Amino acid sequence: MVHALYERSRMLIHEVTKFGLVGLLNVFVNMGVFNLTIHTVFERQPVRASALATVVATISAYLLNKYWTFSHREGNHGIGRETVLFFVLNGVGFLIEQVAVTLTWYVLGLKTGLWANAGKFLGIALGTAFRFWSYRKWVWAEVAEAGEATRVAAEADPEREGVFAEMPSAFEELKDASSAQDPCAPPEVSSRAS
């Protein structure tokens, strides 16, 4: 039973693990750029420092997620649309981060490096949860393969086989009639009572 449960959720486990590793790496990228810039270029300007840090981490995350985490998924649209979707949804995650930093610094008035980092970390955590869900749902959505659809249909009704496994059961009569008839004779059409 545990093995069956693992097999059903194996791909999700692998995706979550890879996404987590990419995310962890990019937390360090994000926090590193944030702390570097808040103490240099954007001194005492945490929202600007956060914006730059998030952009750098986003580019890194896109490349790692596309070519490693979700590389097995073909997606259901071209690379241009995929890239636009990624950055739009990442923009939502970015806004989540910015709201957390803004609330911490300006609304709550907690204007220290420790609290700025706490707000940034909370924003990253909330943004990451949104990103994982949205990337799987819209950017790198899983496309069901024909072989998988056939396997699922065959498991649902083991009596069906071959190409007929994908056809609706309404065609069963036609299947049975065509196997009993002369292949050169025109098919008989039976009228069904409603």
Taking the domains of the chain in order of start, what are their residue ranges?
2-139, 146-180
Distance between CA atoms of 103 and 113, rounded to whole angstroms? 14
pLDDT one-digit tens code per residue, 23-58: 999 989 999 999 999 999 998 898 899 899 988 998
Does the pLDDT at position 168 exceed 50?
no
Hey, how many other C-beta atoms are within 10 angstroms of the C-beta on 184?
A: 5
Distance between CA atoms of 165 and 157, rounded to whole angstroms? 8
Q: pTM for the whole thing?
A: 0.59
- Runs of H (alpha helix) within the chain: 2-38, 46-64, 79-102, 113-134, 146-156, 172-180
Residue with tokens 């009704």: 157
pLDDT one-digit tens code per residue, 1-28: 787 777 778 888 888 999 999 999 998 9
pLDDT more than 70, % of the chain: 71
Distance between CA atoms of 194 and 176, rounded to whole angstroms? 21
Does the pLDDT at position 189 exceed 70?
no
pLDDT one-digit tens code per residue, 97-153: 899 999 999 999 999 989 989 998 899 899 989 998 998 888 887 765 434 444 444
- Reduced to 3 states, what is the DSSP secondary structure of residue 170? helix
Distance between CA atoms of 158 and 153, rounded to whole angstroms? 8
Written as six digits, the tokens of 162 are 């071959």
